[in-house]
Amino acid sequence: MGTWGYQLEQDDFVHDVMWEFDQHLKQNQNLQQTTELLIETYKEILDDPDEGPLFWIALAGMQWKYGKVHSNVFAQVISDFDRNAGLERWKEIGETGYTRRKNVITNFVEKISVDNPKPKKLPKIVVRKPVYKAGDCLSINLPNGMYGAALVLSADHSDIEYGQNLIALLNYMEKEEPNLSVFEKRDWLMLTHHNYENKPDIGWYTAPGHRSVKSKFYLLGNIPIVPDDPQQSNSLIIWNHLGNQIIYQRDWDQTH
C-alpha cells in the first residue's frame, strides 16, 4: 500500500502530494494557483480507484491547513466518502482495519466541513546555502576524545532551501589535530565492517542540522579539488554522524 498506519498522512502518496503542494505554494503564494497546478500534475491518476480519492483528501487537507477547502474539492471528497471510494483495499486487512480507516476519514470530513479556526500562514522560501566550500578541510572532535578528518568535495545549491555538501571522511583518528598534509594525501576511509564492502565513507550533508553540532567541526584551511576526487554519493547523512565511522572501523579492525 505504501501505507504505515491508519492516519491519512501515514501514506507515501498523500505525503508526496502534501509536500508538493507546499513547494508550489512557497513559490507562488496563491492557494488557487497551487490547487490548479496539483490537479493538472496528477490528472492521470484522478480516476484511479485507490490513489484518486487519496489525492483529493491530500488536496483538501492542505487547503484546510491554510484556511478553508474550496467547494469543488470538498464536493469531490464528499462524493468519494459517500461511495466508500478508496476503502476497498482496507477490507483486505480485515473488518477492524477497515472500520478504523473509515472512522479516520469520517473525522477528516467532519473537520474540513468548516473553516479552519487557526489557519497556518502561507509558507515562504528559506534560503539555506551549503555550509562549506569545495576543498574545505575539517577537523572533527570525535566522541572518543580523538580527532578525525574530512574533506569537503563539493557544494551544491541547486535546491535553494537545502544547500548541501559532499564530504568524504579520511582514514585519520589521532590525539592531535590533522594538518593540511593529511588532507592532501587523500587517504579515504574505506569501510569493511559489517555489511560494508570496502566502500569509502562519502555522503551528502544538507545545511539544516549543522548549527546544533557545529562545535564538533573546525575549518583548518582549503585545498584544491582535483579531477580524481569522488564527486557522487547516494548517501544522505546527518551532521552528527560525520566522523563516527572511523571509530566503528577501527574497532572492527581490532577485533577481526
Asked if residue 205 and residue 168 are part of one domain, the reply reads yes
Which tens digit of pLDDT belongs to each residue from 31-64? 999 999 999 999 999 999 999 999 999 999 999 9
Q: For the chain, give the mean pLDDT.
A: 95
Asked if residue 152 and residue 87 are part of one domain, the reply reads no
Which tens digit of pLDDT belongs to each residue from 201-240? 999 999 999 999 999 999 999 999 999 999 999 999 999 9
Query: What average pLDDT score do residues 118-133 get?
Result: 96
80, part of any domain:
yes
Asked if residue 251 and residue 146 are part of one domain, the reply reads yes
Asked if residue 189 and residue 241 are part of one domain, the reply reads yes
Across the strands, what pairs with 221?
Answer: 137
172, part of any domain:
yes
Asked if residue 244 and residue 145 are part of one domain, the reply reads yes
What total of structural domains would you count in the chain?
Answer: 2
Asked if residue 171 and residue 78 are part of one domain, the reply reads no
Q: Which structural domain range is residue 228 located in?
A: 136-255
pTM of the model: 0.72
**What was the pLDDT predicted at 89?**
84
Asked if residue 241 and residue 176 are part of one domain, the reply reads yes
Asked if residue 146 and residue 82 are part of one domain, the reply reads no
Is residue 162 a contact partner of residue 207, using CB atoms and an 8 Å limit? yes
**What was the pLDDT predicted at 10?**
87
Asked if residue 158 and residue 58 are part of one domain, the reply reads no
Q: Could you tell me what percent of the chain has a pLDDT over 70?
A: 100
Which tens digit of pLDDT belongs to each residue from 156-166? 999 999 999 99
2, part of any domain:
no
127, part of any domain:
no
* pLDDT at 1 > cutoff 50: no
3, part of any domain:
no
Asked if residue 244 and residue 151 are part of one domain, the reply reads yes
Asked if residue 95 and residue 41 are part of one domain, the reply reads yes
